[in-house]
């Protein structure tokens, strides 16, 4: 008579409400700039942030990334995170009670200067100045919206700053969050590794960056501007400044007006 097959039972797997650390050597590295994301799509991260310089810096522990999955905080059997808008209307709105629990869990144990922002098309437009300010903080916590937005009471209760990537609408905040984190992380000390490069790039001094060239000296009948081959650093600097001013004046009159106003004030 053969031995009766033993049943090992059914393995139980449940969602964890603990924020997930991504690509870090140890949980919550002390004193490390941290991006915390509250999202319905935690698998969207690190995404492109795991590549190139930001990815290497993430693996090296120069910054860290945590995600909080919004779904486990949902209500009922189906873990609903949204409901119909009060007063009627199209679409769905993320619930205040769901978001409140997710935010509280995400911020538990967090210390320091940590801006709390909601990625929203009606927010203040993100720019290089904001990236520099965030880089000087201890990290940033981002709420990635979906559907028609979030319950206004959450924004009011937690004093959340609304920030927009630009004057257009995305299906959610995840793409915007990655762009803003990338712009911020590259400004952290030791991440980019070339302070001069940061100072010369677009927006850093209020102007668009001048054109760049490299080998070969001539391509498709187009030579590199002669001044760049002269070896005269003063003339090269003057040419680059003039080109930056011309490009900014032509393409971004708003930036040019702000630059001119700053020059008048400083002068």
Q: Report the SS3 class of residue 68.
A: strand
Residue 23's pLDDT band (cuts 50, 70, 90):
low
Here the tokens at position 127 are 């720019």
- Phi, psi for residue 79 in degrees, rounded to 5: 55, 50
Mean pLDDT of 203-220: 91
Q: Say whether pLDDT at 259 is over 60.
A: yes
- 27 neighbors 59 (Cβ within 8 angstroms): no
Chain segment 184-194, per-residue pLDDT in tens: 999 999 898 65
- 19 neighbors 106 (Cβ within 8 angstroms): yes
Higher pLDDT, 29 or 208: 208
Mean pLDDT of 54-65: 97
- 63-69 vs 33-39, strand pairing mode: parallel
Q: What is the per-residue pLDDT for 21?
A: 81
* Percent of the chain scoring above 90 in pLDDT: 79
Q: Say whether pLDDT at 198 is over 70.
A: no
Residue 95's pLDDT band (cuts 50, 70, 90):
very high
Higher pLDDT, 1 or 64: 64
Q: Report the SS3 class of residue 78.
A: coil
pTM for this predicted structure: 0.85
Domains and CATH numbers, the chain: 20-185 (3.40.1280.10), 195-266 (1.10.1270.20)
Q: What is the per-residue pLDDT for 207?
A: 93
Q: Mean of the per-residue pLDDT values for the chain? A: 90
């Amino acid at each position: 008579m053969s031995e009766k097959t033993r049943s090992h039972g059914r393995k139980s797997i449940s969602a964890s409400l603990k924020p997930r650390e991504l690509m870090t050597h140890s949980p919550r590295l002390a004193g490390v700039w941290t991006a915390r994301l509250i999202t319905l799509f935690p698998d969207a991260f690190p995404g492109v942030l795991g590549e190139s310089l930001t990815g290497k810096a993430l693996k090296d522990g120069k910054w860290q990334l945590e995600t909080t999955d919004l779904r486990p905080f949902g209500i009922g059997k189906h873990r609903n995170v949204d409901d119909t808008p009060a007063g009627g209307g199209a679409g769905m709105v993320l619930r205040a009670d769901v978001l409140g629990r997710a935010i509280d869990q995400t911020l538990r144990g967090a210390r320091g200067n940590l801006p709390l922002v909601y990625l929203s098309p009606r927010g203040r437009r993100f720019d290089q100045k904001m990236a520099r300010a965030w880089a000087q903080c201890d990290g940033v916590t981002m709420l990635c919206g979906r559907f028609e937005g979030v319950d206004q009471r959450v924004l009011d209760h937690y004093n959340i700053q609304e920030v927009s990537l630009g004057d257009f609408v995305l299906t959610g905040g995840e793409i915007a969050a990655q762009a803003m984190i990338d712009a911020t992380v590259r400004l952290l000390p030791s991440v980019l590794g070339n302070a001069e490069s940061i100072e010369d790039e677009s927006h850093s001094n209020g102007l668009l960056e001048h054109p760049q060239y490299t080998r070969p000296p001539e391509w498709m009948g187009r030579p590199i501007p002669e001044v760049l081959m002269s070896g005269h650093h003063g003339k090269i600097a003057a040419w680059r400044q003039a080109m930056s001013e011309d490009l900014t004046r032509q393409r971004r009159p708003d930036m040019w007006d702000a630059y001119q106003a700053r020059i008048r004030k400083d002068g």
